[in-house]
Amino acid sequence: MPLASLAYSLAIALMIGWLLWLGQTLLLPILAAIISVYVLIAAAQAMRNVPLLGRAPSWLLRLFVLAGFTIGVALLFTLIVTTFARVVAAIPGYEANLDTVIGRGAAWLGFEDQPTWARLREATFDQIDTGRLVTPLVNSLRGLGGSLFLIVLYASFFLAERARFGTKLNRAIGDPDDRAKTLEVMARINERIGEYLLVKTFVNTVLGLVSFIIMWAIGIEFAIFWAVLIGFLNYIPYVGSLLGVAFPVLLCLAQFGSFAMAGLSLATLTAAQVYVGSVLEPRLMGRTFNLSPFVVLLALAFWGSLWGIPGAILSVPLTASLVIVLAEIRITRPFAVMMSANGKV
């Protein structure tokens, strides 16, 4: 009997994973909209502390933050499209710098016949059909625009429905004890996820601003875009900070053709990441999520392989919600304990 239960559980898990992978296009905008609503509600509540806005009704504050969110998403999409076009136009100008970098690297390695950029390009990039690469990127931008529109649309409806959610739940769950327990679990999930997302968004905003100042001072092109990218990638545990630094450093190397400038950008951007990740974030975050680091790594690998970068960004909130739900069920509580960092759930 236990073997049969294990087989059934494995089959159900595989089926759920297949459905999650199959429904990626539908589920990702919905989950992103839910995550956005947490941040918007927290922002609306924070606006209560503003002297003039504190007297405004709740619906007006939510409408205000929703309008700001819509404008921000539109500006983000415009920034991505504009930067993509500028990067494509600037690539030919980097050829001379890349030639210099390759020559210096070859001389340092002791090559007698230094591989010039022309030779390297003939052996590598000239063999690549750029048309086949640009077309998927353009299609991805179109898909991103549609996804961003759906996120804003879903977030608008979620904000409108939230005010009536309590009444619907009272009518849906007749038993008072079950209703109280359900509300308690949902309150814990909302509190933890809301606090995590609010603090994480603030920390990432600070990191983006500091990174922009550093890149602007160095003279790295497209500094605003890279700063936004660094802020978004920092939502991804462990790996995001490495990727956020790597992209502008590589561009700096191609732009200036100097290992010294690339080293300077690497050192300063890494210092900003270390300060935010080791000093600022722990002070503000505290123990919002009681997750084992190994569980975070597994969640990152699972959701990242299932949904790519969006899945990696959502890995921590989704896993933390799962742990809270598992802790409330007697049969699955041991799993929640094993997934926690200190054995307390």
Distance CA 212, CA 269 (A): 9
User: What does the pLDDT average to over 112-135?
Assistant: 53
Distances (CA, A) of 280 to 74, 192, 287: 30, 19, 14
**What tens digit of pLDDT does each residue of 290-337 get?**
677 788 888 888 888 888 777 887 887 778 777 777 776 777 778 778
Q: Half-sphere exposure (CA, 13 Å, Cβ side) for 239?
A: 13
91 and 79 Cβ atoms separated by less than 8 Å: no
Coil, strand, or helix at residue 8?
helix
- The conformation of residue 278, written as its DSSP 8-state character, comes to I
- Residue 181 structure tokens: 């327990």
Q: What is the pLDDT of residue 113?
A: 54
Residue 42 has pLDDT above 70, yes or no: yes
Number of neighbouring beta carbons within 10 Å of residue 260: 8
38 and 194 Cβ atoms separated by less than 8 Å: yes
* Burial class of 69 by CB neighbour count within 10 A (0 to 12, 13 to 18, 19+): buried
Q: Half-sphere exposure (CA, 13 Å, Cβ side) for 269?
A: 31
User: What does the pLDDT average to over 11-32?
Assistant: 76
**What tens digit of pLDDT does each residue of 269-278 get?**
999 988 887 7
Distance CA 232, CA 249 (A): 17
Q: Which of 136-150, 240-254, 268-282 has the lowest mean pLDDT?
A: 136-150
pTM of the model: 0.73
